[in-house]
Structure 1
Amino acid sequence: MYGCAAKAVAQLTPHVYTKYIHQGEWVTLTATATNATLYQWYWNGQPVTGATTTTYVANQAGEYTIQAFNGTDCGSDISDPIRIAIIADRGPVANTDLAVSKQADSKPVVMNQPYNYYITILNNGPVSASGIVVTDVLPAPLTLSGALTADDGTATYDAGSRTIEWKIPQLTVNQSSRLTYTVTAKDKGQVENIATVTATTPDSVQDNNRASYTKEIFGLMIPNTITPNGDGNNDQFIVSGLASYTDNEMIIINRWGNHVFEQKRYQNNWKGDGLNEGTYFYLLRIKDNSGKWQEFKGYITLLRPK
């Protein structure tokens, strides 16, 4: 981030998105950041006067976030919020608060390249949750291509309805569990994937029972082998679909880390002239439709058939 502090992340011990306390109690929030020398805490989006250290003692209901600054006053992104909720009395509370979140691999992905989704269920409390069911219907471009790996419970996939169902018998207060699965996308474009959670235990907060994640699938096809023998077939390292991303750069590196080829606005013209057979590393950078640079890394094998 060109010298800016890394994104600050407010945390509790254990880390929860909602922390329940009784009237008159307090909780210490702790922030972490990289290269930070100054902090600013926010309560419901407003800066808290004098709250400029890594910790803040909170006793009011609401959402708390933090921003970190380095020595040049370069600020990080605002952290994800942590919610404080007040329990009015100390009697038994029948409802709980289950929250679902969804992420995918941060790496850029091309068509037919496997990548992972991660679904996390967190029981914010204040009571245990039972009979938890997480449902995820895969959108049409996606195909399940790997096993379903769950921390707790059992996960199954119904190919007919394209539905992943993850059942967890129970989560105690502040307990979380994660499901990981692998997919491939057959088409390019934006893919939105949605997960929902229900339970037999009543849930008092409904707005965090649904989570979506949108992943861009890039319309590139990157080969892993070229055979430059002059027969007109697979003679050059051709990245199909690259014409859609005119701002790009290709770098080819040998096994010793030396750059053997570099080209801005790559013309699909590398064929290993003057190089020995072997495996080379490529780094392809493209500017996507939002103006952000994306990096694709991998290996390309150079063969010279006799």
Structure 2
Amino acid sequence: MKKSNSTYSILVLALAFVLLGTFASQAQVLNKPVPADNPNLAGNSAWTAVCASGGFNEYFVNFTWDPPMVESNNEFILELSDSDGYFASPTELARVADKNQVFDFEFQFALPTEMRGDNFKMRVRSTNPAKTSPASDAFSMYFIDYNSPLLISENGSGNIPSGGLIQLCGGGSVTLKPHNIPNAETYIYNWYRSGTLLASKSESITVTEPGMYYVELDYGDCSGSANTLSNTIEISTGTSSGLAINGASNLELCPGETQVLEANITGMGLTYTWYKDGTIISGPTVEGSTYTVNSNTAGFEGSYQVEVDGSGVCKELSEAVSITSPGSFEISVNNEENIVLLPSQTKTLSVTTNANTPVYQWFKDGAAITDVTSNALTINEVGEYYVEVTDNGGPCTPAPVASTTTTVVSPDSFEFVIDYVGTYASCENIDATLNLSAINAVSDNGATTDVTADLQNSFEYQWRLNGTDISGETSKTITISNQDNNGEYTLFGTIDAFESMSNTLQVTLNSNETLQITTNGTVLCEGGNAIVLETTTELSNKSFEWKKDGTVINTSSESLTVNETGVYQLIITSNACPLVSNEITISAFDESLLVLDKSKDLIIIEGETQTLTASGADSYEWYDAGNNLISSSSSYDFTEEGEYLLIATFGTCTVSKVITVTYRDMFAIPNVITANGDGINDLWVLPNTYSRDPNVLVTIFNERGEQVFSQAGYENNWPQSTTSFNKQSMIFYYKITRGGKSLKQGTITVIK
């Protein structure tokens, strides 16, 4: 059967919507990248590991993706994971912007020089839309930046033993380490013993077992091509020869004495290395079987060992010999290193020491002071003082030890330094505390000595404001908490015949008064009352500024009439500091400021309640159809049909909304009847809501507006049997009311 043109068009349109929906539900698919052949190398195949170097670093990966198309400004980015396969901080390898219509292409990349590891992965990311492909398989990737044979030696010293042989005594060990590779600690290593790969991967290895040891850099699958295999060190073991240092294991040296340490194995062309506290101090030296310790050398005390090596013996380290100084002791000075001595004053200098039997000799200006043999000295003269202590106890008498020098000066003058306590900023703080922070004694050549701790409690003090004494302020600290006391502060002090004046500090406090501005409205509307900004703070005889959006607009009016939107603020200058008010934002009137939580056309079920809530305004008034105020809250509960009025006030502006409330019909009111006497749909039957209710009046009008029926408590009995219809189809109008209020109205079509 042939389809009509309209039917065909509908089918085509439906098919178009199906296809559109199919494509709309699809998204681009980015496939994981895979290794690709290098087109610049003949006969090459896809790589299985990246072994890059300074001589070759060109690799390719293949990438495919599926439509729909990406955006024209899209870029595809090839990213590399870390060596563990994680993309927390991926490295960008390549980026292309000209493949947005190519579904199968290759990225070319070079491996960054710092990359080394066995579990690198790659992925591709698109920028528009933002999508990420699955990660690739894991691959070994190494940049081979060192590809020469390594050289290993004991502790990386560079001394490769003759024949590459090191002999160890029972229980001994040796540390092997490469000595010819820069930044050795940044690489991973493969250590071998007699061809067996060991677990250690660090740059050094400590060995105790015999065998042939060598190492190479661990470049993963690329190791063989790097050519870093080292020389071989043969480790053999033997029986201890009993190496020791002759004599006692604990020795004491008095000042001026020396001690010759000698190994108990000598001759045979052996090599000796001497250690103090584990550090080489001599050697390795052939036939160097002795070492002399001199007590006149600072820091000679310590633990001494010797190591022997050579043909016919195994390498061995002796037990330690401890050498100490029996007469060493310390001196502590109990007074300040710098002392200011005022006229007629005396000071006591003293020291303490841990010497066994101390003898004291005091010095002034380098000359010994006679008849003073205790650890304390009373002085009344300026100069430089110190004491020498000699310990007369113990097996030997060490050299005297001198204390640190105490400098005693007589000042030419004093200077005070005052400072703010805590954080202070001009015109920000409402109080400030000043304090004497330092007292300096000044010599005749201008040199200063801090004598705060020594003299701060000896001065008499007087604070001054703008050069005038402040009554009662005679301590080292002063607190200012009133704007009326802003000004320049100094501290004056006296001691004996000395007078001292401090530096000057400016204190400019802000007022602790709160400046508040108020307004009769914040919304500006045409025809509304004027918006006025005011403050209760007295502005007469004060300097002030009204600001709008940070710009001064008025400096003379104590109240401000606003005729533009913006942010307003009042600033008063009080004692050279600004007193800043709160901000008031004046916005333009906009009916959208009134927000209703439901439609203004409400439908309710008779007997139930529907609540409508308004927000955004300053106040609200709800009126019924008779213009009666029924509520002043932000919400109203509607229970009856009708029209209501909401008036919302925004400062001096208002917004009015008409709210229409209608009942939801639980049963439909019929609008067609067939008055043909067949007993089906012959009468106009209303729902129970409107029928048989004596308070509900049903009135029906003909098409000329003439009333043809009216009944309270409608009995579902229209049209009556006596009603005649002179047309095949006639239209009537109905109106249903309760207490004079309209409930429903509409049309009825009567078909004969």
Question: TM-score when scaled to structure 1?
Answer: 0.36
**RCO higher in structure (CA 8 A, sep ≥6):** 1
